[in-house]
Amino acid sequence: MNKRITNALTIDVEDYFQVSALADHFPRSEWDSVPCRVERNVDLILALLDERGAKATFFTLGWIAERYPALIRRITDAGHELASHGYGHERASAQSPDVFLEDIARAKKILEDLSGQNVTGYRAPSFSIGAGNLWAHDCLAEAGYGYSSSIYPVKHDHYGMPDSPRFAYRLKNGLMEIPVTTMRWMGRNWPAGGGGYFRLLPYGVSRWQIAKVNRDDQRPAIFYFHPWEVDPGQPRVQQAAAKARFRHYVNLDRTERRLRRLLADFQWGRADHVFKDAA
């Protein structure tokens, strides 16, 4: 396995009831009454990273940070990067520029006040920056962010901008965009950066894809997952549509084991360090 390239490991810190696929069953007005499992799950991830001496970037919701300030300190005390996932997991594409700017500025301030560190990275919920709202990059620059990892250059029913660059690039406003990793095969981009595909497909597929990007493209990969994906004991929403249930619950019991293999097979670091000189 290629150990010369350090890849970026990223975690989108949100809980099971905040995901877009289950939004109809967990109104934001009721979030405070839903049992939260994020602290237990992030602590498990921190332990896995510590076992391998790996570092990561935690794209964290402001809503979570407000309620679990000690968790934020545990993340930063362990040497990981704290970054923003917005405040309340609202899709960037569903907001006006003014509302979006308010959301990202609010989240940034909360995270910086709690951590005492400068927060430079942002990831849009559900990779919701695309061809229809590229103005969001200007809002991010205005709010003081240095990079975004919000575009997935694939075709997907909920997100994606398949014609955008596959690797990190600098925008005219100075912001860097770091797309989630794809593998080029048979004339199209294939998801290679984690998420539901990591749970759905055999682990060997992810290992092959990342190794291929490292070897053939000579580029670092950027991989993502969520804390709720290491939590097979989370409550099940049986009322959700079959497609949503499948996407959310498939192979949750295998994720921790696969992450252990991923951490052993590749070298991992923080996004701000891995891509410091990328563009």
Q: So what's the pLDDT on residue 21?
A: 86
Q: Which residues contact 30 (CB under 8 A, 6 or more apart)?
A: none
Structural domain tally of the chain? 1
Residue 183 in any domain: the answer is yes
Tell me whether strands 147-148 and 169-170 are parallel, antiparallel or unpaired.
unpaired
When pLDDT is cut at 50, 70 and 90, the band that residue 115 belongs to is: very high
When pLDDT is cut at 50, 70 and 90, the band that residue 158 belongs to is: low
The Cβ-side half-sphere exposure at 143, using a 13 Å CA radius, reads 29
Residue 71 in any domain: the answer is yes
Q: Which of 124, 128, 133, 182 is nearest to 153 (CA)?
A: 182
Separation of alpha carbons 37 and 131, rounded Å: 34
If DSSP codes are grouped into helix, strand and coil, which group holds residue 31? Answer: helix
> Within the chain, where are the H helices?
38-52, 62-67, 69-77, 97-115, 136-143, 196-200, 203-212, 242-249, 252-265, 271-274
Residue 53 in any domain: the answer is yes
The mean of the pLDDT values for the chain is 94
Q: So what's the pLDDT on residue 168?
A: 96
Residues 229-272 pLDDT 10s: 999 999 999 999 998 899 899 999 999 999 999 999 999 999 99
If DSSP codes are grouped into helix, strand and coil, which group holds residue 150? Answer: coil
Domain assignment of residue 84, given as a range? 6-274
pLDDT > 70: percent of the chain: 96
Q: So what's the pLDDT on residue 156?
A: 59
When pLDDT is cut at 50, 70 and 90, the band that residue 2 belongs to is: very low
Residue 30 in any domain: the answer is yes
When pLDDT is cut at 50, 70 and 90, the band that residue 159 belongs to is: low
When pLDDT is cut at 50, 70 and 90, the band that residue 164 belongs to is: confident
Residue 279 in any domain: the answer is no
Residue 43 in any domain: the answer is yes
Residue 1 in any domain: the answer is no
| Structural tokens at position 154 | 């694939």
More confident residue, 205 or 2: 205
Residue 50 in any domain: the answer is yes
Q: Which residues contact 243 (CB under 8 A, 6 or more apart)?
A: none
When pLDDT is cut at 50, 70 and 90, the band that residue 3 belongs to is: low
Question: Cα–Cα distances in Å, from 7 out to 138, 183, 269?
Answer: 27, 14, 6
Rounded to a whole number of angstroms, the CA Rg of the chain reads 17
More confident residue, 20 or 12: 12
CATH number at residue 171: 3.20.20.370
Quick check: pTM over 0.85?
Answer: yes
Residues 14-70 pLDDT 10s: 999 999 889 899 999 999 999 999 999 999 999 999 999 999 999 999 999 999 999
Q: So what's the pLDDT on residue 1?
A: 45
Q: What is the mean pLDDT of residues 113-121?
A: 98
More confident residue, 4 or 113: 113
**DSSP state letter for 174:** S
